[in-house]
Amino acid sequence: MKKTSHIAFLSVLSNSFVVILKFIVGLFTGSIAVISEAIHSSLDLLASLIAFVSVRISSKPADKEHPYGHGKVENISGTIETLLIFVAGVWIIYECIHKLISPEPIKLPFLAVAVMVVGAILNFVVSRIVKKEAERVRSIAMKSNAFHLLTDVYTSLGVAGGLLLVYLTEWYFLDPLIGIILAIYIMFEAVKLMKEAFPPLLDAKLSKTEEEQIMQIIEQYKEEYLEIHDLKTRRAGATEYIEFHMVVRSSETIDIIHDLCDRIEKQITQSFEQAHISIHVEPEQELKGYINMQS
């Protein structure tokens, strides 16, 4: 997790540079779109800091107080990040409406455009690095962070294009109008991200595709057991928790059953690297009772 922590800190450094640059140029040029984008980047910076801290905490091993580990810290951080983005969107719209009522000219628009382009290039490169690591370690906090960086790329380029249009047409109302469009966009994306970050806090099961993948792996060994039931899954941060009941022949020895469980677990962890797997083994007599209970 040391590499993951370093990459999370890289996004903190890049965002800090971009935020300072955008705020300085936004205040100097008087562009509400640039200032709005600086606020957006400030939230990205906060998200990067939250991701950095949560990755370090969630990577801690389980202890007496937290026997299931610290993985949900990532989901909490992801939820906080999305709420912050939504609040910022409301604030940007409020400021833009005020600017629409009293539009003002923009000083040195090309300076603002240059800053937007530089920020977009820097965040694009960093977002690709963070996303690759997020997928490798299955980190929701880093995935959220990478997404924030990528939306910053799109919005920065959008603001740059809008400022060029303002310069060519002198339609100063376009500046706050771009800010409103930007705010609606990031609020919409915040809602989408919330749908991914929040459910694990309620112990929602893994996706249908993931559960089907798990069952496909288990069924590769169907000749060695009688039946599988009560599959339960959940996710906490980057860790998946998988448990199920496996009915085996009563004639099988403990050694054979133990070896079968080990092989199934090993196969599952090839697809879910940080999975915690619990297999409840039942003798075949239990199968009849389970069938009768289901009927």
Give phi and psi for 239, each to the nearest 5.
Answer: -105, 130
**244 has which bridge partners?**
279
Residue 27 has pLDDT above 80, yes or no: yes
How far apart, in Å, do the first and last CA atoms of the chain sit?
Answer: 48
For the residues 188-216, what does the mean pLDDT come to?
81
Residue 169 amino acid letter: T
For the residues 265-279, what does the mean pLDDT come to?
90
247 touches 279 (CB < 8 A):
no
For the residues 220-233, what does the mean pLDDT come to?
91
Tell me the C-alpha distance between 136 and 73, whole Å: 18
Residue 107: pLDDT band (50, 70, 90) is confident
- Alpha-carbon torsion (122, 123, 126, 128), positive or negative: negative
7 or 5: which leads in pLDDT = 7
Residue 258's pLDDT is what? 94
Report in angstroms the alpha-carbon separations of 94 from 32, 40, 66.
11, 14, 43
Q: Which residues contact 266 (CB under 8 A, 6 or more apart)?
A: none
Give pTM, 2 decimals: 0.57
Distance of CA 243 to the CA centre of its chain: 24
| Spatial CA neighbour of 147 closest among 43, 71, 240, 238 | 43
| The two three-digit tokens of residue 212, written as one number | 């089907």
Residue 47 has pLDDT above 80, yes or no: no
Q: pLDDT tens, 158-182?
A: 788 888 888 888 887 887 787 788 7
Report in angstroms the alpha-carbon separations of 153 from 6, 159, 240.
22, 10, 31
Residue 293 has pLDDT above 60, yes or no: no
